[in-house]
Amino acid sequence: MPAQLSRLGVIGRKGSHFLRGNGAVHLLGWLALCLIFFLQSPGLTAADTKLDLVADPTKFLHDALSAYTDTFTLGQLQNQAYGYLFPQGFFFLLAGPLPDWVAQRLWWTLVCGIGFSGFLALSRRLGVGTPVFQVVAASLYALSPHTLTTLGAISSETWPAMLAPWILLPFLGPKVGRAQVAASVIGVACLGAVNATATLAACVPAGVALLFYRRFKALAAWLGGCLLVSSWWIVPLVVLARYSSPFTDYIESAGVTTRWLNLAEILRGTTSWAPFVDSERIAGNALVTSPYFVVATLIVAGAGLVGLGKSFPRHAFFVALLGIGIFILGGAHLATTFLDGTGSALRNVHKFDLLVRLPLAVGLAALGPSIASIASASKKATAVALCIVFAVGATAPVFNRVLPQGAYQQIPDYWKQAAEFINANAVNTRTLILPSSSFARQTWGWTRDEPAQALLDVPWAVRDAIPLVDPEAIRGLDGLTERPTEDNLTRMGIGAIIVRHDLSGNDVSTASYFPEADVQSFGDVDVVLLNPKLSMLMTQQVNLPTVAGGGEILSLLGAGSYQLVGGDADIVTDTPALVARNYGTLGSVSAPLASTSEGKDVLNPVKDYPSVGPMSVVSEVGHVSASSSASDATSFGGSVPSESITAAVDGNDQTAWYPTPGTQQGQWIEVTPDQFPARTITIETTGDTVELEVSAGQAHVSAVAAPREPLTLTVPGDGNSPVRITLGASKYRVGISEVSFAEGTVSRVLTVPDTSPNVSEFLFQRVLSGEKEIVRSFTAPRDMTVSVSPSECFREVLIDDHSYRCGDDVQLAQGRHTLRTLAQSIKLTVPGFADAGTPNDVLTLGDDGQVKVDASDRDRLLVTTRSVNSGLRGYIETSSGEVALEPRTVNAGSQAFVVPAGTSGSFRMTFAGNRPYRWGLLVGAVVGFLTVAVCLLLVDATRRRPSAEGELHPDSGPEEVVAWLLVALGCVASIGWPAVIVALAMWAIHRFTIIPRALMTSALAVTAAMWLARAPWPSAHYAGGSLLLGLVCAGALLGATLPRAWLARNAATIPETSGPGAPAA
């Protein structure tokens, strides 16, 4: 068998014996990995990829056979759940009888073992390096920083990178025929599709190899084979793309995913953004922040670059692959618009890390002969020992930090008991989980997915970080979780509640939500049954009261159903307001803004969930800006909207602007009055005595301000420039409560657009906006009489500086008005107008699981209480046949259907994408299985037919030049035109001096390591983004990969040979 596989091109003659004698190396490698993982936190399960994989894989995989699920929040498409069917889900299905943590450790062993053996086979196929260095390099590839960052938290991203060597390996031989293509396609078939981008990244090396060596027929055959074995998930992916909500707009932006992709981090493998923003991934965070790991990983990368300077088979290809990897990763910051738009699926470019890791690992293996050629035995031993020490240092987190924070023993029994109760008593309704949480981080462990997700068989809902539903429905969830009244719950089809008390740092009493409800307690989980029969709703008319607002505002209106509109509404509200939202943190929403530029701290192009309602925007007199604000969406600890720049010019000294928490000294607010010259400014501070620097243009003056004591100053300069107030240091936090000018005006007011000539009610609030006071500018479209109704009747209301009380009538002249109040919300209602929605009749599910609809003499709306989706279809099966219903969107993105007058029968709702989804899975699986079977036959046929293998030779000069130009292009994409100067400098140094290339590369790598280690993330002066550090790394890259023909002929170099015929060790 080994000899036949050798002829096939999977392994070479020199390497074929490993299956006989050296198979032990693979076995020992797998046993070592298994030991490492099993000795690490035994008994604890990590939140890896999906909770369901360990909790209930059978149910999870069964549900993955449908594109749409009614079980998850408000009914939704499952995001790439089909990708778990094989191989990850299948593995956990087989491992179902085992304890969760054991199944997980076996999976991690399989993942890393596949990568270890794949790289070891690849290096031996090339004949590069020595046995020791092949094993070291294989270990470093399998346990790279990217692997250690992703393995314990999202191993589905690790798996494709581990298969990449196997997919590439058949194409590295001297011959590429049908059997080699077939062998690679088999590897592609094993990738799965939990993440299509990671799957694509794993195929790139093989595709590049075929292109680089101009094997176009083989490339065409290989692409065809890849398409066939991947068809089972490609069709479902198309369905997902067609019908899914645009959730990629509301997750991490390209600005975040590319923020740390500088050359130093790329070279050492810390390309994933997650450990830079959160410490959950312990190994990844340690690799990012520890100077020791910075040094170890960059030294290892430098060693790989030195090895890439050697001559070995396919050398130019690996240099080219490195260049492509540098270009994709280092140049991603140039394509953020694309990555946030049509290329959003590629946004997490760190998944292409393997394009850099694979060449550097090959380079490291190539160092073996150079070490073996050292004459002195002691020096040789020292060199080998140093290499091993740095290799162990670079992979050290694998020994005790693979599991992320929050690993747990098991889901507590009280969760299982509560789920059993709900599964038995809330079958016909939806259960809402409170309080909301971005991720499920409990006091007993972090599951990331909700524990209920794997335990409940009935529909449920939660407001988490990424609800995969319509954005208006997300707004509705925000309002509902803020005010979970019975009317609001009914409108969204919620008949049961889970109130959990085991969330880390967020325990709310059930009584605060439902003071009079009958509560069933199960340990730290309470269950409230409000209406277990509530499933869908029926309105008795199709024309609903119209509301100009966002979905969240419905929580402040009465019972019944409404129609959200962009204008010509019965009810005008101050939602949606222009804000910026930190999508990663629930509730971290900025104060209302005057323009999107004020929310520049949020890098997402879509600053907030879109809404049909007209946008309320802050109107300014003059202008105000600041270095930062505690109301910024990304402010540390979450935004505080009441501490925005508006608070400094709102005429209320009880509110104040504060800079974002952190270093106060040097933070500033700048005000520009509506007229010049402005000679006198008055500043009032709060919190503590502080020194202020007041500057205008080039002039400035300093003064000490005491809290709550107005400070009046003469504006420095000629009074014709914006005035900047800069805070000094203080013991306690300082804010600016008021800024005003004697000669001009500065103000900011949230302005409600004039969209509805027939408005009958205005509704303004601060319940959802987080402000301390309602200050609104609005337009009466006609002369109106309205009644004042603040939410707290004792609150005074000022309209155009006139005071009103609860129940007072106000004459509003046509035109603009300003309202102020400290009430939580306020309504200005035309007498006689009832703001209640159209009444809803509750529809329940029958024993047959269907909703019965009786006939009526008028058209009605059947409100499904599911999130609207263009793929949902409604039908009523009547005695005379099936009637297709017209879809409508009502309430907060809720799917409804028009029931024509006289229609009765059983209502049925289907999802249009389910049929192609399931056929795609079935037909694709059959096609993929048959393709793999054919590939196996081709491999076996070649195995039985003897053939000459041929020898591998180093690449030619032109191929080296092309490869180096790709590296140069990658460096230019990463650091810009200075890379050209570095390239010329490296060429000149290596052409006209006798400085050994290995010495120069090593020196530059060590310099980069020391430089970054002095200020790793999150240091205030983080060195990773330094242009000078980038130039050093570019020098190492460009010098190490310089074509040999361009080197000085008499250069004193370490022996360049690392392929067949090199010294053995």
Note the pLDDT tens digit of each residue in 753-786.
999 999 999 999 999 999 999 999 999 999 999 9
- Output the pLDDT for position 22: 64
Lookup: tokens for 542: 């199709």
Measure the CA–CA gap between 290 and 1013, rounded to whole angstroms: 8
pLDDT in tens, 489-527: 999 999 999 999 999 887 788 888 888 888 999 999 999
pLDDT in tens, 879-938: 888 999 999 999 999 999 999 999 999 999 999 999 999 999 999 999 999 999 999 999
pLDDT category at 67 given cuts 50, 70, 90 is very high
Select the more confidently predicted residue: 507 or 810: 810
Measure the CA–CA gap between 510 and 519, rounded to whole angstroms: 8
CB 833 within 8 A of CB 871: no
- Output the pLDDT for position 648: 96
Lookup: tokens for 551: 């979905």
CATH number for 840-914 (one of 2.60.40, 1.10.1200, 1.10.10, 3.30.310): it is 2.60.40
Q: Is 385 exposed, middle or buried (0-12, 13-18, 19+ CB in 10 A)?
A: exposed
pLDDT in tens, 218-249: 999 999 999 999 999 999 999 999 999 999 99
CATH homologous superfamily of 621-748 equals Galactose-binding domain-like (2.60.120.260)
Phi, psi values for residue 429, rounded to 5°: -135, -175
Whether this prediction's pTM lies above 0.85 is answered by yes
Average pLDDT value for residue range 419-432: 96
* For residue 954, pLDDT beyond 80: no
* For residue 361, pLDDT beyond 60: yes
Select the more confidently predicted residue: 616 or 380: 616
* For residue 949, pLDDT beyond 70: no
* For residue 1052, pLDDT beyond 90: no
Average pLDDT value for residue range 145-169: 97
> What is the DSSP secondary structure assignment for residue 82, as one 8-state letter?
G
**Max Cα-Cα span within the chain:** 101
pLDDT in tens, 332-360: 999 999 999 999 999 999 999 999 999 99
Lookup: tokens for 566: 């962009």
List CB contacts of 248: < 8 A, sequence separation 6 or more: 344, 345, 347
- Output the pLDDT for position 1049: 59
- Output the pLDDT for position 950: 62
List CB contacts of 116: < 8 A, sequence separation 6 or more: 26, 29, 30, 33, 138, 139, 141, 142
Measure the CA–CA gap between 835 and 832, rounded to whole angstroms: 10
Q: CA–CA distance from 445 to each of 152, 407, 439, 1005 (Å)?
A: 14, 6, 12, 40
Count the neighbouring beta carbons within 10 Å of the beta carbon of residue 239: 24
- Output the pLDDT for position 947: 57
User: Computed from CA positions of residues 497, 499, 504, 508, in that sequence, does the dihedral angle turn out positive or negative?
Assistant: positive
On average, the pLDDT of the chain sits at: 92
Average pLDDT value for residue range 966-995: 95
Measure the CA–CA gap between 1055 and 372, rounded to whole angstroms: 10
CB 553 within 8 A of CB 479: yes
pLDDT category at 371 given cuts 50, 70, 90 is confident
Q: CA–CA distance from 1046 to each of 278, 984, 993 (Å)?
A: 45, 12, 12
Select the more confidently predicted residue: 2 or 740: 740
Select the more confidently predicted residue: 663 or 5: 663
DSSP 496-527: EEEEES-BTT----HHHH-TTS-EEEETTEEE
List CB contacts of 734: < 8 A, sequence separation 6 or more: 658, 664, 685, 686, 687, 688, 690, 707, 727
* For residue 1061, pLDDT beyond 60: no
Residue 205 is inside which H or E element, if any? helix 196-212
Lookup: tokens for 954: 């180093």
Output b/e per residue, 1027-1043; b: 16+ Cβ within 10 A.
eebbbbbbbbbbbbbbb
CB 388 within 8 A of CB 25: no
Measure the CA–CA gap between 361 and 162, rounded to whole angstroms: 13
- Output the pLDDT for position 531: 93
Give Cα 748 to chain centroid, integer Å.
34
Give Cα 30 to chain centroid, integer Å.
32
pLDDT category at 793 given cuts 50, 70, 90 is very high
Q: Nearest CA to 488 among 441, 542, 552?
A: 552
* For residue 14, pLDDT beyond 50: no
Q: Which amino acid is at 240?
A: L
Count the neighbouring beta carbons within 10 Å of the beta carbon of residue 516: 5
Which single residue is written with the structure tokens 């589905």?
Answer: 156
Count the neighbouring beta carbons within 10 Å of the beta carbon of residue 334: 13
> What is the DSSP secondary structure assignment for residue 868, as one 8-state letter?
P
* For residue 169, pLDDT beyond 90: yes
- Output the pLDDT for position 15: 41
- Output the pLDDT for position 1008: 97
Q: Nearest CA to 191 among 83, 109, 64, 105?
A: 83
Which single residue is written with the structure tokens 């222009």?
Answer: 578
pLDDT in tens, 104-137: 999 999 999 999 999 999 999 999 999 999 999 9
For 531: left if phi > 0, alpha if psi spans -120 to 50, otherwise beta; the answer is beta
Q: CA–CA distance from 438 to each of 257, 432, 464, 717 (Å)?
A: 19, 15, 4, 50
Domain-wise residue ranges, the chain? 2-404+919-1046, 621-748, 752-829, 840-914
CB 490 within 8 A of CB 838: no
DSSP three-state, residue 248: helix
752-829 shares the fold of 621-748: yes
List CB contacts of 940: < 8 A, sequence separation 6 or more: none
Nearest-5° Cα angle at 675, 673 to 679: 75
Measure the CA–CA gap between 770 and 589, rounded to whole angstroms: 9
In 93-205, where do the E strands start and end? none
- Output the pLDDT for position 9: 37
Task: Please report how the helices 1027-1040 and 291-308 are oriented relative to each other, as an axis angle in degrees rounded to 10.
Answer: 30
CB 574 within 8 A of CB 775: no
Q: Nearest CA to 855 among 817, 905, 914, 784?
A: 905
Question: What architecture is domain 752-829?
Answer: Sandwich (2.60)
- Output the pLDDT for position 952: 75
pLDDT in tens, 262-292: 999 999 999 999 999 999 999 999 999 999 9
pLDDT category at 705 given cuts 50, 70, 90 is very high
Phi, psi values for residue 130, rounded to 5°: -120, 165
* For residue 20, pLDDT beyond 60: no
- Output the pLDDT for position 466: 86
In 706-814, where do the E strands start and end? 711-714, 723-727, 735-741, 747-751, 761-765, 774-780, 784-790, 797-799, 802-804, 809-812
Residue 875 is inside which H or E element, if any? strand 872-878
Based on its alpha-carbon atoms, the radius of gyration of the chain, rounded to whole angstroms, reads 33
- Output the pLDDT for position 1055: 44
Give Cα 772 to chain centroid, integer Å.
32
- Output the pLDDT for position 19: 36
Measure the CA–CA gap between 1035 and 905, rounded to whole angstroms: 75
Which single residue is written with the structure tokens 């203080």?
Answer: 730
* For residue 441, pLDDT beyond 80: yes
Lookup: tokens for 350: 């760190």
Measure the CA–CA gap between 571 and 203, rounded to whole angstroms: 55
For residue 405, how many C-alpha atoms fall within 13 Å in the half-sphere facing its CB?
15
Q: Nearest CA to 550 among 892, 799, 212?
A: 892
- Output the pLDDT for position 7: 37
- Output the pLDDT for position 420: 97
* For residue 1064, pLDDT beyond 70: no
DSSP three-state, residue 633: coil
